[in-house]
Structure formats: C-alpha cells, structure tokens
Amino acid sequence: MNIRKLERIAYAPYDTIQNPTREDWQKSYDALVQLAAEKPEDGRYPNTLGYLCYYGRHTGQRDYTEARKWFEKGNDLHMIESAYKLSDMLAEGMGGPVDGQRALHLRLLVYFYCRDEFESGKRDGKFADTALRMGRMFHEGKIVPKNDLEAIGYLLEAKYAIDCRKQYHEYGDSTVEKHIRRVMDECEKPDEKVRNMEQYGMRMDRVPEHIQPGDGVLMTVRIDADDMGILRLEFRRKRADGKKPNRILWSVAPAMKCFMTDSIVLYGADVREIWNKNPGELVVCDRYENDEENGTYLFYLEDELQCRLRGGRYVLPMDEFWMTELRDHPETDSDISQ
C-alpha cells in the first residue's frame, strides 16, 4: 500500500469519521506503525502514535509506556508536540522513571519555541499551555525550587496568551483558562507593599533571556549615565537582516501585569561601564556572559568583546513601566497585523 493510502487510513478518525470506533482507531494505529517504519525520518507518525497510546483510543486503555516510547522518537525527530508531552511524562514518571532535569530541559525548549512563535504573531498556538506548565512547575516546586513570584510571571503570560487565542476560536479555551486561574489562585500573591513600590529589583540576566539573541536576532543595549552615575540601560531586539523585529512579551509579577513592548528599560544602581569598544554608541551583541566571580557582564558579537559592565543591582523603573504601551487586554486584530 502506498504512503498516500496509508495516511488516509491513519488520519481518517481525525479528518473524515464523525464518530470513530475503537476499530477505526486500531486501523489508524496499524497504518501509523507502518508509516513510521517506511518513513523513519518523518516525526508526525510517532507523534500521533504517542497520542493514540497516551489516550488509549485504539485499545480502550492508556498505555503510557508505549506512548513515552513514541514521544521519544518524535522528540528525536524535532517534533515540538512530542517534546511537549514527553516533558510532562518525564516530570510525572508516566511510562517510566522520573527525570526532572530532562523534563526541565524539554519544558524550557518548548516554552521558548512557543514564545518565539507567539511574539512573531502566531496567537493561536500552544504558548498559553506551555506558559501554564512553567507557572505550575514553579508553584509546585517538584523539579525546580518553589517560587510563586516566578510562577505568577509565567501565569500572567499564559493568561495574556489565552485571551489572545480566544479571538481565533469561538468556543474559547475554557479548560486551559480554568487551570490558569486555579494555579494563580493557589500562588501566594505579592502584597501591597511589593505591588506599590516604585521600583523592583531584579537580575539583569532575565532581560537577555526574554529578548533571545540568536537565530538572526541580535540585541542592542543603549547605555546612558546621569549626573549621579546611575546607568540607564535600554534593551531592544535587532534583526540581522534589517527588518522590524518582533515585539517583546514582558510580565512583571509584582505589579501583576503582562504586556507587549518594543524595549525593556532597567536602571543600574552601583553599576558602572568599565569598558566599551565604541563609547557612546549602541552596544550590539549576540550573546552575553555573567562573570559571577568578578560581578561583571560581558557582551559579545561573533565572539568579539563589545562591552563590560560591573555591578549587579538593577531596578525596573515602575514610573516608566506604567507609561509604556501597557494593556490590560490583548491586542486587537489591527494591532497583531502591524
């Protein structure tokens, strides 16, 4: 039987059969196994087999061991859906032993992949689900240390993303939204003192993490010092091809806000610029390193050092934060298309 006919059988319960029976799913399973053998380079087949076994559609009983085997194959073939489900199974010990470190690695990989899709304009993808998993992971504290403030940051992103996604589906996504709300309610919220403070101390290394240099995206840092020696750092994305870069999704957990912005501004108290290759000009870099021993941040472009900053006290200027393009609601369709 040729590939096209096998695919018709394999995906019939998804595409053409209104109420598929267990027999229909069994035919689908058999066809997918044959397809996976004949086209071992195609990750779609093991990924679908993983879901069939995970839900036990063809047998009536879930088989997590076989599901995990197929998701492993899908992940090896760079299927992001397989990595998404495999990370859950590794974290919970479904179908095999718990592997918290690998679960965390895969969860971060999926999170940043889906985040990049979301920021590039794909608002109906799985970013809400992956951000929810990140938030739940930090709230539960099983494979990372429990940190409700960190969890809230991810949950705010999940809520922002699900509100965007509902614009694409009339039925909405009530189950995911319910889970976001439940975990958010379980988290210990920032008290009024934290919510109302004018500036929020943070580590600078969170900023490049969200801007994500690499894959044709660079980062620029504008460094300005006032009369008191306080540095103002403005981080932006810059595309190597000169086109307009994606905006940045930015959550501020103490303020319980999440928004899209073109740049992120920090003030560096007790921070000084100790060397800049091109003084007074934008620092353009594709990566940075934190030399913890010397308290220094090193910015590189193609392995050539561009700038060094020493010191580690940074604050997010809440006065400027409230003045940004802060939205309590997601973008309209016209905003998305810009």
The three state secondary structure string of the chain is CCHHHHHHHHHHHHHCCCCCCHHHHHHHHHHHHHHHHHCCCCCHHHHHHHHHHHHCCCCCCCCHHHHHHHHHHHHHCCCHHHHHHHHHHHHHCCCCCCCHHHHHHHHHHHHHHHHHHHHCCCCCCCHHHHHHHHHHHHHHCCCCCCCHHHHHHHHHHHHHHHHHHCCCCCCCCHHHHHHHHHHHHHCCCCCHHHHHCCEEEECCCHHHHHHCCECCEEEEEEEEECCCCCEEEEEEEEECCCCCCCCEEEEEHHHCEEEEECEEEEEEECCEEEEECCCCCCEEECEEEEECCCCEEEEEECCEEEEEEECCEEEEEHHHHHHCCCCCCCCCHHHHHC
Q: Quick one: pLDDT at residue 317?
A: 67
Q: Where are the domains of the chain?
A: 1-98, 101-189, 199-337
Q: Quick one: pLDDT at residue 331?
A: 43
Q: Quick one: pLDDT at residue 227?
A: 77
What class does CATH assign to 1-98? mainly alpha
Q: Quick one: pLDDT at residue 197?
A: 55
Q: Quick one: pLDDT at residue 172?
A: 60
Q: Quick one: pLDDT at residue 253?
A: 84
Calculate what percentage of the chain has a pLDDT beyond 90. 62
Give every residue of the chain whose pLDDT is below 70, as ranges.
Answer: 169-172, 192-206, 312, 317-338
pLDDT digits (tens, 9 = 90+) for 43-57: 999 999 999 999 999
Q: Quick one: pLDDT at residue 334?
A: 31
Q: Quick one: pLDDT at residue 203?
A: 63
